């Protein structure tokens, strides 16, 4: 491969990483070290609550450290960024506030893996409520990225969760 080819591939990868960057509401790019706080499955409030608690706990380093030693404290915690410690702490604070309202893009698993919505016991009403809420969020987003038929089936799944009875199309037929 020649230098021109290598340069074009490198430039393409750079553009892809810039386009896919996750940003805060104030349009600041979120460092990789903070992205794990935004990794909950769509509609999983239990996960979001745990991530928010962890985020706030780790944010304490920004609030409790002496500004003159903050860079050193962040390095000791394994946080190495190419931004200032003040900027990092500002972004960290924004990320903690984003967790409740942030949903990852929906995936094929969210749309076609119907079993994930039927993992609650019959008696666990809170679990069912959370699965219904997650399913409906995925259904709302489904319309923009998936075939209409897939979204219609997903809606049928959402409407069946409370009864804990899978629609017939979700059952595999044995030959």
Please report, rounded to a whole number, the percentage of residues in the chain having pLDDT higher than 90: 58
pLDDT of residue 142: 95
pLDDT band at 20 (very low <50, low <70, confident <90, very high): low
pLDDT of residue 73: 85
In whole angstroms, give the CA distance from residue 11 to residue 34.
25
Which residues have C-beta within 8 Å of that of residue 157, sequence separation ≥ 6?
114, 117, 135, 166, 167, 170
Is the pLDDT at 47 greater than 70? The verdict is: yes
Average pLDDT, the chain: 85
pLDDT of residue 172: 56
pLDDT band at 30 (very low <50, low <70, confident <90, very high): very high
pTM of the complete model: 0.71
Is the pLDDT at 50 greater than 90? The verdict is: yes
Domain positions in the chain are 22-101, 108-168
Closest by CA position to 133, among listed 146, 117, 148: 117
The answer to whether 111 and 83 have CB atoms below 8 angstroms apart is no
- 1-10, 76-85, 142-151 — most confident range: 142-151
């Amino acid at each position: 491969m020649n230098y021109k080819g290598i340069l074009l591939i490198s430039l393409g990868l750079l553009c892809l990483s810039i386009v896919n960057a996750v940003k805060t509401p104030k349009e600041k790019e979120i460092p990789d070290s903070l992205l794990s706080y935004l990794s909950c499955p769509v509609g999983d409030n239990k996960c979001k609550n745990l991530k928010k608690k962890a985020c706030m706990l780790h944010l304490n380093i920004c609030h409790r450290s002496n500004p003159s030693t903050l860079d050193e404290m962040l390095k000791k915690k394994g946080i190495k960024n190419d931004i200032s410690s003040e900027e990092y702490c500002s972004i960290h604070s924004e990320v903690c506030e984003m967790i409740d309202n942030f949903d990852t893009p929906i995936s094929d698993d969210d749309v076609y893996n119907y079993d994930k919505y039927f993992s609650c016991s019959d008696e666990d009403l809170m679990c069912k409520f959370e699965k219904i809420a997650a399913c409906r969020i995925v259904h709302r987003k489904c319309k923009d990225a998936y075939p209409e038929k897939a979204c219609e089936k997903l809606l049928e799944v959402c409407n069946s969760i409370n009864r804990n009875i899978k629609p017939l199309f979700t059952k595999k037929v044995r030959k």
